[in-house]
């Protein structure tokens, strides 16, 4: 439990940051005049976190867990400090990318160290502590992010900058605690060279594909820039596979692991679930703030049903898995609930009762809680204990791959739909007497936002939608009649995204049905390695005795 406290602090650092930023990103983007560029900030962070995750796993297998866990915390804290000085969305994206270098090791190494200490069957119970931290941060994070982002200044510093600055003292405490209490026994590990070429080819393969996923809507999916990204990405991925095949066990992600059908299918499920989860849920705070007009603080509170569903389902699933040693039923139930929840969310409109929206969130959260923990547990359990770091990092890595692609693609879908949707709604509203009257009144309104929009519409200026993408907060400053076309346009675009996410979740559900269950081991990674070493020593002793005889 002493060691666990250090791991929990590290996980709290990463989990709290994700939830704080997700609620406040709209305020940050509006302040930095780049609402439509927020995908760059999210994607940059996820790219570096994704690329560094398997490297942390491999290096920790080779040289031990603690030094790399401390490194991850340090990089994360420094990146958080840099984010507070951002003066543009481009700078923020760059600093978030640096922060992601540390984030890649926070959660994966915490779960890896737990896997070293505790058997898969008992691990489900201990992971309840991690999920409690994750759940707590998911409750506190959105509210804290909303409170901070909602303040003009705190001690002379813009309120949203505290969203990142709060990580610094928390990270310093985590560093101190982990340095003091995390004591792992030294293990004899085979000396290998670091697969830097694998890292290089992975970056060459993934980065162009993720960039085109985010920028394809502006470049054109068949443009020269997009085609260049496709070609470079495919070449990089082919090069990565070739390098990994040549290096064998020394590879960053040894290809032999994919011969295990449980691991291989689990990886595919992780990618699909990551895309559906991150891509779909990212938009919920946007809906609550842009469409329903909630403040960042209130939006954080309104996300509670999703968080509570995840936490309750995870704890119950962990306890039942620990008692029975069986886990297959939970991913099936979880993926089915995710499909249902995301599909229901695609029906939400500006007029949907908040209680109904929260019910849909609860269903989605219950599904994710039943799905995420057994998924990681099964992937860890599918491979030998000596691959604990690589297998855990791979589970996180491929889920982040899916999440990164999901966020980029779904935000691209959103912004590709928003402009024509709002334009269409404005044209339809122009035929309605109530809207015509609101425009006429708006031209002489004392509200400068109403006046600017009304005069623009009278002059047949159709750039209103583009202006909203630069600063979505103007929607809340408009009169209800003038704001409605914008809210409906956003809601319709978000509905398209939720529907796309539910289709992905259906694929995950089908894959889970074909996923076979492997009995959970009853020994942790360190214990298993020790038993293996002892057995090898006894075997060598008997061979020596027989030889002398």
Is 231 inside any structural domain? no
Is 513 inside any structural domain? yes
Residue that wins the pLDDT comparison between 499 and 516: 499
Which CATH number do you get for residue 156?
Answer: 1.20.1250.20
pLDDT at position 545, please?
Answer: 47
pLDDT tens by residue, 348-395 = 988 899 999 999 999 998 998 888 778 877 887 777 777 777 777 777
pLDDT at position 232, please?
Answer: 93
Domain that holds residue 119: 2-184+191-195+252-420+492-526
Q: What is the dihedral of CA 297, 299, 300, 304, to 10 degrees?
A: 140
Separation CA 100–CA 51 (nearest Å): 9
**Number of independent structural domains in the chain:** 1
pLDDT at position 525, please?
Answer: 46
Res. 533: pLDDT tops 50:
no
Is 18 inside any structural domain? yes
Is 480 inside any structural domain? no
Separation CA 214–CA 219 (nearest Å): 10
- Are 4 and 129 in contact by the 8 Å Cβ rule? The answer is yes
pLDDT at position 339, please?
Answer: 92
Separation CA 378–CA 327 (nearest Å): 8
Is 39 inside any structural domain? yes
pLDDT tens by residue, 411-452 = 778 877 887 888 788 778 878 888 878 878 777 777 777 777
Is 464 inside any structural domain? no
Residue linked to tokens 């895309």: 275
Angle made by CA atoms 212, 509, 42, in degrees to the nearest 5: 30
Separation CA 359–CA 357 (nearest Å): 5
Is 222 inside any structural domain? no
């Amino acid at each position: 439990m002493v060691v666990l406290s250090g791991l929990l602090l590290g996980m709290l650092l990463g989990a709290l940051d994700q939830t704080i930023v997700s609620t406040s990103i709209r305020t940050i983007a509006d302040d930095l005049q780049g609402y439509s560029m927020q995908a760059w900030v999210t994607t940059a962070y996820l790219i570096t976190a994704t690329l560094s995750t398997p490297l942390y796993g491999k290096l920790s297998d080779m040289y031990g867990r603690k030094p790399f866990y401390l490194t991850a915390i340090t990089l994360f804290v420094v990146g958080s400090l840099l984010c507070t000085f951002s003066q543009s969305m481009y700078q923020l994206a760059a600093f978030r990318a640096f922060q992601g270098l540390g984030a890649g090791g926070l959660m994966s190494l915490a779960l890896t160290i737990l896997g070293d200490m505790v058997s898969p069957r008992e691990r489900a119970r201990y992971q309840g502590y991690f999920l409690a931290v994750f759940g707590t941060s998911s409750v506190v994070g959105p509210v804290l992010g909303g409170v901070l982002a909602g303040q003009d200044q705190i001690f002379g510093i813009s309120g949203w900058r505290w969203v990142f600055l709060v990580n610094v003292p928390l990270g310093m405490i985590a560093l101190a605690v982990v340095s003091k209490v995390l004591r792992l026994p030294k293990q004899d590990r085979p000396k290998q060279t670091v697969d830097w070429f694998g890292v290089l080819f992975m970056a060459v393969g993934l980065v162009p594909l993720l960039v085109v996923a985010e920028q394809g809507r502006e470049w054109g999916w068949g443009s020269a820039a997009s085609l260049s990204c496709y070609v470079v990405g495919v070449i990089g991925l082919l090069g990565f596979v070739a390098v990994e095949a040549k290096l064998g066990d020394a590879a960053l992600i040894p290809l032999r692991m994919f011969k295990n059908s449980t691991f291989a299918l689990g990886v595919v499920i992780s990618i699909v679930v990551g895309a559906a989860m991150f891509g779909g849920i990212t938009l919920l705070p946007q809906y609550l703030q842009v469409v329903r007009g909630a403040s960042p603080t209130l939006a954080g509170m309104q996300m509670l049903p999703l968080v509570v569903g995840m936490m309750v389902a995870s704890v119950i699933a962990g306890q039942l898995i620990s008692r029975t040693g069986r886990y297959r039923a939970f991913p099936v139930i979880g993926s089915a609930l995710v499909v249902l929840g995301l599909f229901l969310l695609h029906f939400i409109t500006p007029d949907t009762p908040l209680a109904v929206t929260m019910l849909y969130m609860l269903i989605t959260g219950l599904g994710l809680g039943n799905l995420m923990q057994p998924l990681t547990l099964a992937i860890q359990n599918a491979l030998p204990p000596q691959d604990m770091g690589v297998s855990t990092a791979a589970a996180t890595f491929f889920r982040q791959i899916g999440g990164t692609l999901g966020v980029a693609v779904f935000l691209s879908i959103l912004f590709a739909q928003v402009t024509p949707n709002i334009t269409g709604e404005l044209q339809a509203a122009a035929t309605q007497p109530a809207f015509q009257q609101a425009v006429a009144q708006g031209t002489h309104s004392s509200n400068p936002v109403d006046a600017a929009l009304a005069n623009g519409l009278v002059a047949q200026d159709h750039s209103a939608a583009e202006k909203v993408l630069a600063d979505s907060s103007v929607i809340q400053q408009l009169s209800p009649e003038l704001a409605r076309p914008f809210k409906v346009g956003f809601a319709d675009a978000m509905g398209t995204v939720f529907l796309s996410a539910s289709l992905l979740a259906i694929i995950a559900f089908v894959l889970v049905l074909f996923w076979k269950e492997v009995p959970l081991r009853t020994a942790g990674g360190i214990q298993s390695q020790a038993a293996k070493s002892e057995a090898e020593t006894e075997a060598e002793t008997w061979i020596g005795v027989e030889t002398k005889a």
